[in-house]
Amino acid sequence: MDPPPQQQHPVVDIHTHMYPSEYIDMLSSRTTIPLVRTFPSSPDPRLILLESEIPALERALADPSAPLPGRPLTSHFTSLSAKLAFMSRHGISTSVLSLANPWLDFLPTGDDKEKEEAGRTAHCINASFEAMCAANPGKLFFFGTLPVTAPRQTILDAITHLSELAHCRGVVLGTSGLTSAGGAAAGGSGLDDPALLPVLHALADAELPVFLHPHYGLPNAVFGPRSSAGEYGHVLPLALGFPMETTVAVARMFLAGVFDAVPGLVMILAHSGGTLPFLAGRIESCVAHDAALVGKDKDGKRRRSLWEVLREQIYLDAVIYSEVGLKTAAEAGGGAERLMFGTDHPFFPPVGEGADADGEWESVRLNAEAVHKALGDGSDEAALVMGGNAVRVLRLYKA
């Protein structure tokens, strides 16, 4: 059993990412997103992940004086010692690591060789995370990665593998769902696809919660030409596209009855559930007033409301940066017991003149402050959100 931390109230970061070196090697050999590329004017290679970053990538390739695309690939994305230093600087006792987006969504699945490759890559990345955690007992656990573009049996095999790894506490999943050919994309079959049910059942049976994380956002056109021209940086895709993607994905699962079909499924939603806590009432009302849905309860059973699903099968991270959002998230889940602190490290480092990535991160401070302001500094509720809930739900420090 991994030792629990010394302090009475451990601080657990459940939303914290890394890219192991084999993943970066894969991105460095690619010419379409996601990719890693060096530019003469940049000391660090650039990590270009999002569709919204394509216009800037094209401008930078055509004109060396154009602003650099994506974000710098600093050691914070790849180095275990940088992660551990970040944790100790911010008083984080334990981190539950996850591969960052877009995970293995982009792997091709054309022929048998490629299908095997997706399974092998997932195996290798999951083994890397397990080794990092095993070398830091009590400090690190991880959410595993699934080869979502591989055939169903390969995905089920990956779940079996993860359930045998001592430090795995769930899986990180995007919204794209399964794909039969080509890499997954925003237009993949989604998490309401009945073909995904055996995978969700297997995760529930293995008691592996799903950490649901966005990547695809909304189409660039929604944000307009000035956003594409780079005038607004990453603000609209990250602040609005990401949360809307999560909201839509979970609403689709709810409408498809996935939570009723897999009652043992436990989900932890990134960014406090996108806009779900705020919009759950509207979603409920739209269901209740839609002739296409009313009276369609399965097997004569009463339909569970979205509020009930939020209180029975869903946890939210506390990555919302404000007291107002955090209070709403807590209320939606029926209390502080369903919220878990996170940082989103290594994204959102300090920027601008004098910025020091090895100092205190404002993004972390804002999330911690929101918890203490919303729930009371020193309160039992705040302690639960900062770590107690993660220890209980993810069975940390237990064999």
Instruction: Pick one of Zn ion, ligand URA, none as the site partner of residue 238 (Cβ within 5 to 8 A by kind).
Output: ligand URA
Q: How far is CA 364 from the centre of its chain?
A: 16
| Per CB under 6 A, 347 contacts ligand URA | yes
Token pair belonging to 369: 């402050």
Cβ-closest position to ligand URA: 347
Of 42, 44, 23, the C-alpha closest to 34 is: 23
Residue 17 or 167 with smaller CB distance to ligand URA: 17
Given 100, 155, 265, 370, the residue binding ligand URA (CB under 6 A): 100
Q: Minimal distance in Å, beta carbon 52 to ligand URA?
A: 10
Residue 193 or 344 with smaller CB distance to ligand URA: 344
Token pair belonging to 13: 């970061």
Token pair belonging to 11: 């601080």
Q: Which residues lie below 8 Å from residue 271, measured CB to CB, with a gap of 6+?
A: 214, 242, 243, 246, 317, 319, 320
Instruction: Pick one of ligand URA, Zn ion, none as the site partner of residue 254 (Cβ within 5 to 8 A by kind).
Output: none
d(CA 76, CA 162): 25
Q: Is the dihedral of CA 181, 183, 186, 189 positive or negative?
A: positive
| Footprint on residues 237-296 left by ligand URA (CB under 6 A) | 238
Q: Minimal distance in Å, beta carbon 91 to ligand URA?
A: 21
Residue 19 or 315 with smaller CB distance to ligand URA: 19
Q: Which residues lie below 8 Å from residue 106, measured CB to CB, with a gap of 6+?
A: 34, 149, 183, 184
Q: Minimal distance in Å, beta carbon 300 to ligand URA?
A: 42
Given 101, 179, 220, 328, the residue binding ligand URA (CB under 6 A): 101
Residue 100 or 340 with smaller CB distance to ligand URA: 100
Q: Minimal distance in Å, beta carbon 194 to Zn ion?
A: 28
How far from 316 is each of 186, 274, 311, CA to CA, in Å? 22, 9, 10
Instruction: Pick one of ligand URA, Zn ion, none as the site partner of residue 141 (Cβ within 5 to 8 A by kind).
Output: none
d(CA 208, CA 200): 10
H-run or E-run covering 145: strand 140-145
Q: Minimal distance in Å, beta carbon 347 to Zn ion?
A: 6
Residue 150 or 368 with smaller CB distance to ligand URA: 368
Residue 212 or 383 with smaller CB distance to Zn ion: 212
Residue 142 or 259 with smaller CB distance to ligand URA: 142
SS3 of residue 297 by DSSP: coil
d(CA 265, CA 316): 14
Q: Minimal distance in Å, beta carbon 383 to ligand URA?
A: 26
Given 130, 344, 390, 393, the residue binding ligand URA (CB under 6 A): 344
Contact of 9 with 377, CB cutoff 8 Å: no
Residues that bind Zn ion in the complex, under the rule CB under 5 A: 344
Q: Minimal distance in Å, beta carbon 192 to Zn ion?
A: 22
How far from 250 is each of 99, 244, 270, 277, 313, CA to CA, in Å? 21, 10, 11, 12, 12
Instruction: Pick one of Zn ion, ligand URA, none as the site partner of residue 329 (Cβ within 5 to 8 A by kind).
Output: none
Residue 109 or 275 with smaller CB distance to Zn ion: 275
d(CA 26, CA 162): 22
On the 0-12 / 13-18 / 19+ scale of CB atoms within 10 A, 246 is buried
| Per CB under 6 A, 53 contacts ligand URA | no
Instruction: Pick one of ligand URA, Zn ion, none as the site partner of residue 169 (Cβ within 5 to 8 A by kind).
Output: none
Site string for ligand URA, 303-342 (x = CB under 6 A): ----------------------------------------
- What single-letter DSSP state applies at residue 299? G
Query: CA dihedral in degrees (391, 395, 398, 399; nearest 10)?
Result: -150
Residue 92 or 383 with smaller CB distance to Zn ion: 92
| Footprint on residues 7-36 left by ligand URA (CB under 6 A) | 17
Token pair belonging to 185: 């994309």
Binding stretches for ligand URA (CB under 6 A): 17, 49-50, 100-101, 238, 344, 347
